[in-house]
Amino acid sequence: MKTKPVVIVTAVIATLIVIVAALLQSFPGERQRHADEKWRIVNYWSEWCAPCRREIPMLNQLSRELQATNVAIVGVNFDEDPREKSLVIASGMGIEFPTLTIENVLAMQLALPDVLPTTYILSPENHVLAKLIGEQTKESLLAKLTSLGLPGNENYEQE
Amino acid sequence: MNISAKPRLLQSLALILLATSANLMAVNSELQTSGARLELLSSPASSDSSLSRIVTDAKGQVWLSWVTQKDQMSTLKYSKLKSGGWSVPKTISQGDDWFNNWADFPSLVVNESSMAAHWLRMSADGAYDYDIQAAFFDTDQDTWTEGVTIHKDGISAEHGFVSMQPMSNSLTFISWLDGRETRADESHESASVPEHHSMGAMTLRAGVFGQTGEAVTEWELDNRVCDCCQTSAAMSSDGPIVVYRDRSNDEVRDIYITRYVDSIWTQPKAVYNDGWKIAGCPVNGPDVAATGNKVAVSWFTAKDDQPEVKLVLSGDGGKTFSPPVVVADGNTNGRVGTVILDSGNIAVSWMDKDGSDAKIMLSLYSGDGTLLETIQVAKSKASRRSGFPVIDSFGNTVYVTWTNIDDKPQVMVARVTYFQ
């Protein structure tokens, strides 16, 4: 018996969907990128770094203010502790923005910074637009974003 | 001399890999070159061990310390390398309120008749404040004293990055980074000041301590230093010397030295003016070694984003230094160690990284800074969880310890015996 062309096409499409789904599962960073399409402020923190801790309240506030824009703030544990421990530390430090997994960081192909604190600004395609070393202020970050033409819409709401 | 000379030297190595499990010294494997023998020793530390240091005493005995962590409990242990292998590990102290940090971790020093150890303990007053605890081995009681806080400021702040050196008469020299000035208007009664009220800079302090932790004397050596780089201390014929990463008012963070000469600490000065201006902390301190008036300092720098490990030598107790030798560049992430061998040669350890992988390297230099040999001690990971390799020496043998994080953290030990 001959297989109908429509059945073959359906099977091929189904197979492709499965493959794409598997690929997205393998690369959570990519999945996030396509879902969000956001520029990101990536802040490397450590619990024993006093300047890092001083940045957190400012980053929390800025994260809320940027919520409706095309820029998001995410954090990375500089010390590369296991995921559970990192989340406990982040909670203890009062961090309200997302803490990336090691897999997220690997997917971004971001070089491990050698210095604390370090903050990157990344495009949705994970291109490094800025590498900011040292303690940042809200003013310094907003100035950098502005110089990069960000945020790109009118939804920024200062608290 | 540049590291690029390495491949030629490495090509001349005769590689012999031997299984020697029955060896009395518990040697797991051996790699012999024309100038050195590298042996991977068994480790007395269990799995889930990390934060190790290795130290040799005046008799040539080798001591290893490490930390195990289970749930919230941290335990500082140690063992001695004997002819039949490692001694049964003993516990120095343990606690559920320790501050464990891959870059700032416990140490052990051994004197002729005494030992001292340190670890970091969270202070009660501040979530991220911690104190330096030290314990001393009581030879009469054959036991360790309870830990005592060595700094007497009573201020809830960061205290750490300790270096210890044994002295005569069972005294111990200790240098550390002290955050007491980073807190505004603090007193014993109002120690918990919000961090945004911080003022002042991280300071470098040092003291001499007796067997019960009492301070015989204490000094502030520098009132503004890099916040989170290791300090390093050594004993020259003049007295103790301390090297550290300075922090100028305009954020130049080069390596400085201060020396205790004729009962006075010298004005801190750069061992070399790299001019590395950087607003953050590289978490990458220097390491100093001294024998008599010979002093060697190695360190990491990355001016203009060009990472380098450098070495300078002194023949006058650290008063002046030779121009720096570039030990490594390109892919190095520092984490250096320095020792001076009986031959007068100097060994420098550092790490090279390749993506998430890394290598622990060891280079041998003559007394005038000529590169003699470079070997790869072990594979490692660039991850910070692999910690800082630590080296010490006796005679012409270098001992190396590090943490393998391929699976559960496991403290490792190697021995490199130089023939020249």
Q: pLDDT tens across B349-369, in order?
A: 999 998 889 999 999 999 999
Domain annotation covers residue A156: no
The answer to whether residue A153 sits within a structural domain is no
pLDDT tens sequence across B130-187: 999 999 998 778 899 999 999 999 998 999 999 999 998 889 999 999 999 988 544 4
Are residues B280 and A117, on separate chains, in Cβ contact within 8 Å?
A: yes
- A84 & A68 share domain: yes
Query: What pLDDT, in 10s, does the model give residues A76-120?
Result: 999 988 899 999 999 999 999 999 998 899 888 888 888 999 999
Q: Give residue-wise pLDDT tens across range B79-94.
A: 999 888 999 999 999 9
Whether residue B279 and residue A54 make contact (CB cut-off 8 A), yes or no, is no
Same-domain status, A93 and A138: yes
Q: What is the predicted pLDDT for the residue at A24?
A: 39
Q: Which residues of A touch B307 (CB under 8 A)?
A: 114
Say whether pLDDT at B238 is over 60: yes
Query: Of B195, B282, B384, which has the smallest distance from its Cβ to A50's Cβ?
Result: B195
Distance CA B151, CA B159 (A): 8
Residue B298 in this model has a pLDDT that exceeds 50: yes
Tokens of B329: 């560049």
| A154 within a domain of the structure (yes/no) | no
What is the pLDDT, as a whole number, of residue A22? 41
Same domain? A9 vs A85: no
Instruction: Tell me the residues of chain A between 28 and 47 that have a Cβ less than 8 Å away from chain B.
Output: 47
- Give the closest-approach CA distance of B184 to chain A in angstroms: 14
Evaluated on CA atoms B46, B115, B336, B392, the torsion sign reads negative
CA atoms of B314 and B202, how far apart (whole Å): 28
Does B9 have pLDDT greater than 60? no
Q: Which domains does chain B have, with CATH numbers?
A: 3-418 (2.120.10.10)
Does residue A45 sit in the same domain as residue A116?
yes
Instruction: Tell me, yes or no, if A49 comes closer than 8 A to chain B by beta carbon.
Output: yes
Residues A48 and A116 grouped into a single domain: yes
**Nearest Cβ partner for A50 among B198, B284, B383:** B198
Is A114 in the B-facing interface, judged by CB distances under 8 Å? yes
Label residue A13 exposed, middle or buried (CB < 10 Å: 0-12, 13-18, 19+). Answer: exposed
Separation in Å, CA of B284 to nearest CA in chain A: 9
In a domain, A9, yes or no: yes
pLDDT, residue B226, reads 96
3-state secondary structure A85-123: HHHHHHHHCCCCCCECCHHHHHHHCCCCCCCECEEEEEC
pLDDT, position A14: 54
Is the pLDDT at B229 greater than 90? The verdict is yes
In angstroms, the Cα distances linking B270 to B169, B267, B301, B321, B349 are 32, 10, 13, 10, 21
pLDDT at B420: 74
**Residue B206 near residue B221, CB atoms below 8 Å:** yes
Is residue B190 scored above 50 in pLDDT? no
Q: How confident is the model at residue B312 (pLDDT cuts 50, 70, 90)?
A: very high
* A20, pLDDT greater than 90: no
Verify that A61 and A106 share a domain, yes or no: yes
Helix (H, G, I), strand (E, B) or coil at B343: coil
CATH code, A97: 3.40.30.10
Band of the pLDDT at A33, cuts 50, 70, 90?
Answer: very low
Interchain pair B385, A47: CB under 8 A? no
Residue A78 contacts B, CB cutoff 8 Å: yes
Select from B235, B305, B232 the least CA-distant residue to B271. Answer: B232
Verify whether the Cβ–Cβ distance A116 to B283 is below 8 Å.
Answer: yes
d(CA B178, nearest CA chain A) in Å? 13
**C-alpha distance from B103 to closest chain A C-alpha (Å):** 9
**Which of A48, A54, A106 lies at the smallest CB-CB distance from B196?**
A54
Question: Which residue in the set A80, A92, A106 is minimally distant from B384, CB to CB?
Answer: A80
Contacts of A116 in chain B (CB under 8 A): 228, 280-281, 283
Q: Is residue A116 part of a domain?
A: yes
Higher pLDDT residue, B16 or B203?
Answer: B203
Contacts A134 to B, Cβ<8 Å: 251, 278-280
Specify whether A26 is located in the same domain as A44.
Answer: no
ipTM: 0.79
Task: Confirm or reject contact between A111 and chain B (CB < 8 A).
Answer: no
Reduced to 3 states, what is the DSSP secondary structure of residue A125?
coil
Are the Cβ atoms of A50 and B179 closer than 8 angstroms?
yes
User: Could you tell me if residue A120 is inside a domain?
Assistant: yes
B275 touches chain A (CB under 8 A): no
Residues of A in contact with B99 (CB under 8 A): 48
> Looking at the complex, does the CB of residue B197 fall below 8 Å from at least one CB of chain A?
no
Residue linked to tokens 């910074």: A113
Within 199-228 of B, beta carbons closer than 8 Å to A belong to 227-228
Band (pLDDT 50/70/90 cuts) for residue B6 is: very low
Domain that holds residue A32: 1-36
Of the candidates B128, B158, B280, the beta carbon closest to that of A118 is on B280
Residues A133 and A97 occupy one common structural domain: yes
Q: How many domains does chain A have?
A: 2
Asked whether the beta carbons of residue B158 and residue A48 sit closer than 8 angstroms, the reply is: yes
| pLDDT in the model for residue A147 | 93
Query: Do A138 and A79 reside in the same domain of the chain?
Result: yes
Does B302 sit within 8 Å of A114, measured CB to CB?
yes
Is B365 an 8 Å CB contact of chain A? no
Domain match, A16 and A53 both: no
Beta bridge partners of B234: B241
Of the given ranges (A27-36, B60-69, B181-190, B317-326), which has the lowest mean pLDDT?
A27-36
Res. B121: pLDDT tops 60: yes
Bridge partners, residue B404, by sequence: B410
Nearest CA in chain A to B71: A85
Is A51 contained in some domain?
Answer: yes
- Shared domain for A15 and A67, answered yes or no, is no
Tell me the shortest Cα–Cα distance from A40 to chain B, in angstroms.
21
Integer CA distances (angstroms), B187 to A131, B153, B156, B183, in order: 39, 9, 9, 10
Determine how many CB atoms are found less than 10 A away from the CB of residue B12. Answer: 10
Nearest to A50 among B158, B278, B307 (CB): B158
Q: For B102, which of A79, A112, A134 is closest by C-beta distance? A: A79
> Who among A50, A80, A92 is closest to B227 (CB)?
A50
- Percent of chain B at pLDDT exceeding 90: 77
Percent of chain B at pLDDT > 70 equals: 89
Structure confidence by residue, pLDDT tens digits, A35-75: 458 999 999 999 989 899 999 999 999 999 999 999 999 99
Q: Is A96 on the interface with B (CB under 8 A)?
A: no
Mean pLDDT over B211-227 rounds to 95
pLDDT digits (tens, 9 = 90+) for B325-351: 999 999 999 999 999 999 999 999 999
The model's pLDDT over A118-140, given as tens digits with 9 standing for 90+, comes to 999 999 999 999 999 999 999 99
Q: Do A116 and B280 touch (CB under 8 A)?
A: yes
Say yes or no: A92 contacts chain B, CB-CB below 8 A: yes
Q: Does B376 touch chain A (CB under 8 A)?
A: no
A133: nearest CB among B195, B198, B280? B280
Range in A10-14, A139-143, B302-306, B366-370 with the lowest mean pLDDT: A10-14
Q: Is A136 found in the same domain as A62?
A: yes
The span from the CA of A16 to the CA of B130, in Å, is 55
Backbone angles phi, psi at B221, to 5 degrees: -95, -30
